[in-house]
Structure 1
């Protein structure tokens, strides 16, 4: 199959227009149209429905576009590997993690990474959806469970727990619960049980809800839960990694906590030699070591 025709087809399918694809490729509309017709004749099928508003892929066109998207991502990966074998640490690094971990733990520590590598461009993608690393939706992922995708290099960073926290002002005004049954006199702040979250955290929330909690606020990420807690709204279920950066929070019912939750860093096998990935991995591991050291010092006092 003609690679040049496939490249032009991909541009047309992506743009939905012969004119826009031609502008992107520096080709005339007629030249683009000839290449598309030639590809359709070669495959003996129509790849587009032609409408006044533009071009729409046929079912066969969708199949071919899926293939060219995968090809494009593989080529991007190959280009990244070639650059990484020659370059110092600069360029774009796409990092995906959850909204909670990204906003509460990772983002506040990024100044140290930029101080060391000022030319690095980090694209931080915060969402609960697990992005496809082998298909290059992201370069590096930090997730609260071991990745199940194949062909990934993975490393366990640390173990965390979900615990209950409140502000000193809230506890001064409403009292400190001494047992789980006392939660019926307090407002519980947590992620909605229907939202995407770690299973251990969900189990803890369900356990708390069995005690006839009189008032609740549910949020779809831990950043929102934290904001409500530090503004004295109630007792929140939050990951214990944030206590280092919010030392004024008081842990409530410390014997009531979730099971351990593993935190993993992962990246595609083909990026094993990437200098950008190595720099980010080393940075995160150093910050984890510092985090653990500070927690040990806090516990010893």
Structure 2
């Protein structure tokens, strides 16, 4: 089977349009169309349903597209491994983590990584969905539970807890709750119980909601919760690591904490020798060590 025709087919299937695929491949629409017709003739099948709004894959086209996706990912893996045989750290690194951890912890620390490796290109995917690392949807993942996928190297980074925080200005104006029942007299800022979040955080929020709280602000990620707290809107449920970058926040009702939440870093076994993955892993571990030291120093003082 002609690889050039498969490559063009993959681009058309991905774009859903001969014109858009041609733009991506620097080919004319007629040249792309000829290649697709040639591929269909060689396979003696129809790969696309053609209509005014674009192209839709036939059942046979779906089967071929699944195959070209797998081939493309294997080629990307091979290319990455070849590049990673060099000593220099460069090229694209696809990292996935949760919106909360990515926005509140990881992104503020990335300048240090770029200072070390200015030619690194990080594609950061912040979402609660667990991406498939063996299928190379991402190179590295930082998740709030141990990954269950096979063929992964995983390392436990730290334990975190969800706690209640407020600003000194808010507490000066509205008072500090003395016990957990007092939260009903304050505005609670938290993730919506229907949104994707770690189970420990959800359990804490559900427990707090049993106290008939008079006013709430619910957001679908911790970054939004933090912004609400910083703007003195109320008391927020946030991961405890926010105190490293926002030391002025006051923890309210220390007894009202979630259970421990493990944080894991994972990557595919086949990237064990990747220079980019190693550089990112070492950077994250160094930042975690620094965070733990700061936490111990704070507890001693």
Q: Please confirm whether the aligned pair reaches a TM-score higher than 0.5, indicating the same fold.
A: yes
Question: What residue in structure 2 maps to residue 134 of structure 1?
Answer: 134
Question: What residue in structure 1 maps to residue 113 of structure 2?
Answer: 113
Range with bigger deviation, 119-128 or 286-295: 119-128
Question: What residue in structure 1 maps to residue 165 of structure 2?
Answer: 165
CA distance in structure 2 between the aligned counterparts of 1:215 and 1:145, rounded to whole angstroms = 31
Question: What residue in structure 2 maps to residue 155 of structure 1?
Answer: 155
Question: What residue in structure 2 maps to residue 92 of structure 1?
Answer: 92
For 1:218, what is the secondary structure of its paired residue?
strand
Shift of 1:159: 0.4
Range with bigger deviation, 33-42 or 228-237: 33-42
Cα 1:21–1:233 shift into 2, 3 Å: closer
Alignment of 1:20-99 (within 5 A): 20-22=20-22, 24-25=24-25, 32-99=32-99
Shift of 1:51: 3.1
For 1:204, what is the secondary structure of its paired residue?
helix
Range with bigger deviation, 51-60 or 124-133: 51-60
Unaligned runs of 5+ in 1: none
Shift of 1:23: 5.3
Q: Deviations over 1:188-246 (max 9, x none)?
A: 11000000000000000011111111111101111111111121111111000111111
For 2:241, what is the secondary structure of its paired residue?
helix
Shift of 1:22: 4.6
Question: What residue in structure 2 maps to residue 14 of structure 1?
Answer: 14
Shift of 1:55: 2.9
CA distance in structure 1 between the aligned counterparts of 2:209 and 2:89, rounded to whole angstroms = 48
Cα 1:79–1:180 shift into 2, 3 Å: same
CA distance in structure 1 between the aligned counterparts of 2:184 and 2:264, rounded to whole angstroms = 36
Range with bigger deviation, 278-287 or 178-187: 178-187
The reply on whether 1:186 has 2:198 as its aligned counterpart is no
For 1:184, what is the secondary structure of its paired residue?
helix
Q: Deviations over 1:32-79 (max 9, x none)?
A: 444433432343321112335543211221221122112111111110
Shift of 1:18: 3.9
Unaligned runs of 5+ in 2: none
Shift of 1:133: 1.7
CA distance in structure 2 between the aligned counterparts of 1:42 and 1:109, rounded to whole angstroms = 53
Cα 1:204–1:54 shift into 2, 3 Å: closer
Range with bigger deviation, 35-44 or 174-183: 35-44
For 2:164, what is the secondary structure of its paired residue?
strand
CA distance in structure 2 between the aligned counterparts of 1:29 and 1:165, rounded to whole angstroms = 58
CA distance in structure 1 between the aligned counterparts of 2:55 and 2:170, rounded to whole angstroms = 59
Question: What residue in structure 2 maps to residue 294 of structure 1?
Answer: 294
CA distance in structure 1 between the aligned counterparts of 2:281 and 2:152, rounded to whole angstroms = 14
Shift of 1:17: 3.8
Shift of 1:298: 0.4
Aligned length: 301
The reply on whether 1:279 has 2:279 as its aligned counterpart is yes
CA distance in structure 2 between the aligned counterparts of 1:174 and 1:29, rounded to whole angstroms = 66
Shift of 1:279: 0.3
CA distance in structure 1 between the aligned counterparts of 2:239 and 2:153, rounded to whole angstroms = 25
CA distance in structure 1 between the aligned counterparts of 2:234 and 2:26, rounded to whole angstroms = 60
Q: Deviations over 1:232-267 (max 9, x none)?
A: 111111000111111111111101110000001111
In the superposition, the TM-score normalised over structure 2's length comes to: 0.94
CA distance in structure 2 between the aligned counterparts of 1:20 and 1:161, rounded to whole angstroms = 47
